[in-house]
Amino acid sequence: MQDNAFLVATEGSAREETVEQAAENETRTIFGDYIGELYVERYFSKEAKSDVTEMVRLFIMVEINKAKFVPLASKQGKPVERAGWDDTLPVFAVNAGYTPAINGIIFPAGIFQGLFYDDNAPKEKNLGAIGMIIAHEISHAFDDNRAKYDENGNVRDWWTAEDYTKFQELCQGVISLFDGKKFVPGLVGNGTHTLGENIADMGGPSCALAVAESMIPNVDYKLFFDSNAAMWQASRCSRARMEYILSADVHSPAVLRANINFQNIDKFYEVYGIIEGDGMYLAPEKRIKIW
Ligand SMILES: [Zn+2]
């Protein structure tokens, strides 16, 4: 039985309890865990627990998404922050991207390592790898699809009719270079499906090479091309993965990305002494240069 005088002193009023109620309260307090076990056994099934646990998980998810999207929603109607970070790529991602809506390029810190970048390496090596990727992403601003956006990220036709017709002709040429190109037995490239990436891939090494020539007195071209090839070689994958890439990815398989791009660069023939009849040879009139 509770001491009514004590309750009045500590809680301001006394509870009137019967002996049975007081006994129940004491039992509940002392044997709570044991009674809980019996309660769960009888009234709270494993299925109910898993259902409710899932519900809690979803609520917490909802909260994480809210924390992520509420700040984004608050930017609506305000001037575009073109220098803002596009969090579709986390900082540790080994990747890079171009975003037409802000006409911006994104390079997470994760890509500046390994075959892509080495701060102790000669400039040619870095330009052949990360330099090519940087130029690839910039070239995306002028691929077949993104060329329809203007410098502010708005869909606007900024081309002269003559230039656009010429651009379209070159795009058709790129499609032809990749379409039906056999690279392993039974698998061939799809030029239409991969056009945007192939245009960016062609802009990549040619722009990076132009930069190398503008800043290095005696360019080690072999180091540049070897570095580029090593990067693609590291992306080799299984046949099943290649089949997936061909059916669902907008990029060409790595072997085509390396070989076809080199075939369009005149300097490549000179550096490796490639002549008519060699496997990598492409007649000068068939080589395509867009950017
Ligand atoms: Zn790309």
Are 154 and 265 in the same domain? yes
pTM, two decimals, is 0.74
Are 62 and 163 in the same domain? no
Catalytic member of 124, 143, 144, 201: 201
For 16-37, give the DSSP string: ---HHHHHHHHHHHHSHHHHHH
User: Residue 223 is part of which domain span?
Assistant: 97-286
Are 180 and 250 in the same domain? yes
> Which tokens in the block code for residue 126?
């870095």
* Averaged pLDDT for residues 55-64: 84
Are 181 and 253 in the same domain? yes
89 inside domain = no
Q: What are 163-187's pLDDT values in tens digits?
A: 999 999 999 999 999 999 988 889 9
Measure 91 CA to ligand 1 centroid, in angstroms.
18
Domain count, the chain: 2
Measure 189 CA to ligand 1 centroid, in angstroms.
16
62 inside domain = yes
Asked about 137 being catalytic, the answer comes back as yes
Task: For the beta carbon of residue 45, count every other beta carbon within 10 angstroms.
Answer: 11
79 inside domain = no
Measure 194 CA to ligand 1 centroid, in angstroms.
10
Q: What are 62-121's pLDDT values in tens digits?
A: 888 888 788 888 888 887 777 666 667 888 888 999 988 788 888 999 999 999 999 999
Are 172 and 275 in the same domain? yes
Catalytic member of 124, 137, 143, 197: 137
- Estimate the crossing angle of helix 161-178 against helix 254-263, to 10 degrees: 120
We report the CATH number of the domain holding residue 167 as: 3.40.390.10
